[in-house]
A and B are shown apart, each in its own frame.
Chain A
């Protein structure tokens, strides 16, 4: 392996100038409003499998997206071609397309007084994510895998250990004169080992850690050991008979229930009446112990940005307080449709109309340890994996495959697989009877351990 410490760094164009010039050229060409986003990023990733490097990937990329308005008609274009020709086509294409779309009285960019950017260091960018020489990055991945494989003689195979680093730079400009930009960095390490029992049956699981800076990234060894623990506990899994018992969700799968709650308060789904939480503002929608917050301002957070996809400053919004639905999450368009104010949750890809994105979206800690929650259950199912996508946001109907551990007399016992749990999110939110004190962010959405009563487990 060569040890050249070269990082592809594509920052060559002044992104800020490019974004503002595209906006002003669109306006000169006849647009009544315009908004441009320019993104540039670089990534490094490596996978080590059975001690040997399996893949090494390193690259940079950039792209520009433009949204234009002709009165109340809107259209968008995007391109990775930054040549003069490419930019000309981006602008003319967006204006041509905007001639064929419909008048929409709710369309438009935010009002000037809504625009702005959070000040101060949000601790999103650290160039140290690329500080390790290539061989040490590979070694990070190798150490994670090794720690997993050496944890137990039953660890027989592996899908590998990985180390990834990435940086991104984003500029947003619009025709009200807003120009904002920020940089972000990530680094992560993971291990995905495979354990085998005496009958030859295999189980795989994984674990990972993620940070904005190398100085806060967990050690490769702790990630590898946790991956091994999660894998070994699955050996000897069996199916159980159908039953109705309390369910305990570990923080990772509880986080996916938070994803469902996010989808249900998403302004797009609310104005289209395609959420089971539509028209429920001010009503009790969850148990009284439930408080859910979206906070785009937490320094260093994985969901933190100084401004949203439309240039509105991010903020902290209490979505559910003591079980009462307090706020939807909105961008400019959905706010106008609902007669409300934007919550600074616009998310913007390169093309299309802005959607709704979360900041750091979490369910507040309760006061039980996970051990206390399990200890209070005579018979139940501790769930550590959801399989599939069986959630209907219109009705709230929920039915997903699960793997986990059977709870007997307050203790975790044998592993369970090939069963489903089913219910309805409306009931599930009201039946969260105990909340753990183990909230921890490994992404922008997070939840502590949760106990939910009344769900059906389908098995034999």
Chain B
């Protein structure tokens, strides 16, 4: 028996018989499928601000969500009290979606053999708060030491352990213990003439030791300070269509916005995506192969099983420019007659699962990053981004460059003020003319929002050249 079962079965006294009873209640008015998602989440955060630790916090949230599927309909109810009568009441509420004779769940559960993508964190990993405090203080010192023009520094450490149990009326039984840690640093720099900011961060499904050995507080602090100092001398960004080179790693947010959301199965099932009906068609240049891979060890977007209890996988979305697949959950897989790709995710027990990305990235090509820059006469080289957004239906997407430079005659020159890049999802990737040999994934900061639900994701690209994209600057 795993730790997880121990938690829900022992701490909350839930038995396998109870689980059968809850599912039976959920199917009491019929329906095609019912599931329960139990979640127990503990989190810690500590931050330094003006060189002192102003606050630290810890919290616990626990609950259970009950879902009933009947045709295309979903009934959902949740409780943050795991007493049997409360769960039964939620099951009865969710059951109201169906109309018909009661159905019975399959007797007995079968547990899938899960991936082991991250260490099973000890639920008592929150014990050593003073070690976490040292980490944020180190970041504060490193950012201030980088340059005297750095006048404000905030650094934060956040971790959580999410323990889940998912059971379904088809016999699904899955447990997981999902650790997550994140480090973030932001800086304000000032000179006589201007002010600027810089931000950096990262982490993944790792323990605190990751920040002692792999990516140190100094690594993030110096990167945030470097960006702030560079921005002090930023010049107006150009306005209009031009060649754009994206640096490796986090600029992969391009894929997330331009194509990723548009390939989520729910939008395509309903015919509301600009990519609807385009399977097998060309949506990118033949240099582009894009995957969504939930199985990368320790990555922020990785999970052993999705929030419907299905194993995650590596799904090819675009192969040499041709659209190959969608990202699916159980509901869309059943209704579309397609495989479930293990992308059914949710923010918490209070939310209905839906198709979501995990780690979305483009495979490396043959070009050297130097050759790519050299090939541009006048354009923009963007290496760091803030957020992005897409309108699924017309395909228009934006993402905002927080660190970008002008390219003039094959050379990277002046840093540019923050500017938004805008494009059209179904044809943006057809303009990719060079793909670098330097694939990188982001450092582990991405959070994706959809229908008001946030989930952690990863992105990545090698250095990419797009022959044309609109740059939203102010200079003519």
Main secondary structure of the interface of B (DSSP, over half): strand
Residues of B within 8 A of A81 (CB): 60, 62
In the assembled complex, the CB of A41 is this many whole angstroms from the nearest CB of chain B, namely 11
B429 within 8 A of A: no
In the assembled complex, the CB of A391 is this many whole angstroms from the nearest CB of chain B, namely 8
Bound: A340/B151 CA distance, A:
22
Residues of A within 8 A of B50 (CB): 272
User: Are B398 and A56 in contact, with the CB atoms below 8 A?
Assistant: no
B80 within 8 A of A: yes
Interface string of B57-79 (1 = CB under 8 A from A): 11111110000000011111111
User: Are A1 and B96 in contact, with the CB atoms below 8 A?
Assistant: yes
User: Are B394 and A202 in contact, with the CB atoms below 8 A?
Assistant: yes
Residues of A within 8 A of B454 (CB): none
B368 within 8 A of A: no
Residues of A within 8 A of B57 (CB): 75-78, 97, 351-352
User: Are B60 and A353 in contact, with the CB atoms below 8 A?
Assistant: no
User: Are A54 and B272 in contact, with the CB atoms below 8 A?
Assistant: no
Bound: A194/B272 CA distance, A:
8
B470 within 8 A of A: yes
Residues of A within 8 A of B58 (CB): 77-78, 93, 97, 351
Q: Assuming A55-B73, A242-B239, is B389 touching A388 (CB within 8 A)?
A: yes
Tell me the residues in window 236-279 of chain A with beta carbons closer than 8 Å to chain B beta carbons: 237, 239, 242, 244, 272-274, 276
B419's partner among A10, A157, A204, A399 (CB-CB below 8 A) is: A399
A104's partner among B52, B59, B74, B418 (CB-CB below 8 A) is: B52
In the assembled complex, the CB of B306 is this many whole angstroms from the nearest CB of chain A, namely 19
Q: Assuming A89-B60, A390-B472, is B393 touching A194 (CB within 8 A)?
A: yes
User: Are B96 and A59 in contact, with the CB atoms below 8 A?
Assistant: no
Interface size on B, residues (CB 8 A): 85
In the assembled complex, the CB of A160 is this many whole angstroms from the nearest CB of chain B, namely 9
A369 within 8 A of B: no
Q: Assuming A2-B29, A100-B130, A134-B96, is B398 touching A420 (CB within 8 A)?
A: yes
A395's partner among B99, B194, B390 (CB-CB below 8 A) is: B194
User: Are B240 and A458 in contact, with the CB atoms below 8 A?
Assistant: yes
A20 within 8 A of B: no
A110 within 8 A of B: no
Q: Assuming A59-B90, A387-B398, is B59 touching A394 (CB within 8 A)?
A: no
| 14 additional A-B residue pairs with CB within 8 Å, beyond A417-B394, A422-B420, A460-B241 | A4-B96, A8-B90, A53-B73, A57-B352, A75-B55, A75-B57, A80-B63, A102-B53, A202-B393, A204-B272, A395-B231, A399-B237, A420-B239, A458-B471
The 3 closest A-B pairs by CB, nearest first: A420-B472, A388-B398, A458-B239
Name A residues whose Cβ lies closer than 8 Å to a Cβ of B: 1-2, 4, 6, 8, 10, 49, 52-63, 65, 74-82, 86, 89, 93, 96-98, 100-104, 107, 134, 157, 159, 194, 201-204, 234, 237, 239, 242, 244, 272-274, 276, 350-353, 385, 387-390, 392, 394-395, 397, 399-401, 403, 417-424, 456-460
6 A-B residue pairings within 8 Å (CB atoms): A56-B96, A157-B270, A387-B396, A420-B239, A457-B239, A458-B470
Name B residues whose Cβ lies closer than 8 Å to a Cβ of A: 29, 45-46, 49-50, 52-63, 72-81, 89-90, 93, 96-97, 99, 129-130, 133, 151-152, 154, 188, 190, 194-197, 231, 237, 239-241, 270-272, 274, 350, 352, 386-394, 396-400, 402, 417-420, 422-424, 470-476
